[in-house]
Copies of this chain bind each other. A is one copy, B any other.
Amino acid sequence: MSTDVRERVRKAKEAYIALMSESSARKNEALEAMAAALDSGRAAIMEANAKDLDAAEDMLAEGKLTPALLKRLKVDDAKIDEMIAGIRDVKGLPDPVGRTVSALELDDGLELYQVSTPIGLIGVIFESRPDVVPQIMALCLKSGNATIFKGGSEARESNRALFDLLTGAIASVAGMPSDAFQLMETRDDVAAMLDLDDHIDLIIPRGSNDFVRYIQDNTRIPVLGHADGVCHVYLDENADPEKALEVAVDSKVQYAAVCNAAETLLVHAAAAPALLPGIADILASNGVELRCDAASKRIVAASGAEAVDATAEDWDTEYNDLILSIKVVDNMEDAVAHINAHGSGHTDAIVTKDRGRAARFVAMVDSSSVMVNASTRFADGYRYGKGAEVGISTNKIHARGPVGMEGLMIYKYVLLGEGHAVKDYAGKGARPFKHLSLSRQLEIR
Contacts and interface: CB of A to CB of B under 8 A. Distances in A.
A444 B359 contact: yes
A364 B72 CA distance: 39
A243 interface: yes
A385 to B, nearest CB: 4
Given A21-B360, A385-B104, A396-B119, A413 B379 contact: yes
A421 B112 CA distance: 46
B201 A444 contact: no
A358 B443 CA distance: 11
Given A112-B384, A373-B416, A423 B220 contact: no
Interface string A357-383: 011101110111111111101110001
A92 interface: no
A259 to B, nearest CB: 14
Interface string A399-432: 0111000000011111111111111011000000
Nearest to A18: B364
B435 A385 contact: yes
B104 A422 contact: no
A352 to B, nearest CB: 10
A254 interface: yes
A57 interface: no
Q: Per DSSP, are chain A's interface residues mostly helix, strand or loop, or mixed?
A: mixed
A351 B110 CA distance: 14
A297 to B, nearest CB: 26
Contact of A384 (B104, B364, B402, B422): B104
A436 to B, nearest CB: 9
Nearest to A240: B419
B400 A411 contact: yes
A229 to B, nearest CB: 15
A433 interface: yes
A86 interface: no
A375 B104 contact: no
Nearest to A110: B374
B247 A421 contact: yes
A202 B419 contact: no
A304 to B, nearest CB: 25
B414 A444 contact: no
Contacts of A383: 106, 422, 425, 433
B397 A398 contact: yes
B377 A422 contact: yes
B21 A420 contact: no
A242 B420 CA distance: 11
A58 interface: no
A201 B397 contact: yes
A190 to B, nearest CB: 17
A1 to B, nearest CB: 17
A369 B415 contact: yes
A356 interface: yes
A412 B370 contact: yes
Interface string A433-445: 1010000000011
B355 A444 contact: yes
A120 interface: yes
Interface in A225-273: 240, 242-243, 246-247, 249-250, 254-255
Given A222-B222, A250-B421, 15 more contacts: A17-B336, A119-B397, A240-B419, A246-B421, A254-B421, A351-B419, A362-B444, A372-B414, A373-B416, A375-B422, A378-B415, A378-B422, A379-B415, A397-B398, A401-B412
- Please provide the 9 A-B residue pairs with the shortest distance between their CB atoms, ordered closest to farther: A374-B417, A243-B419, A250-B421, A385-B435, A377-B422, A21-B363, A359-B444, A201-B396, A398-B398
27 contacts: A20-B363, A20-B366, A104-B384, A112-B384, A120-B396, A201-B397, A202-B396, A242-B419, A246-B419, A247-B421, A250-B421, A351-B419, A355-B444, A356-B444, A359-B444, A362-B444, A367-B412, A369-B413, A370-B412, A372-B414, A372-B444, A374-B415, A378-B415, A378-B420, A384-B413, A396-B410, A400-B412
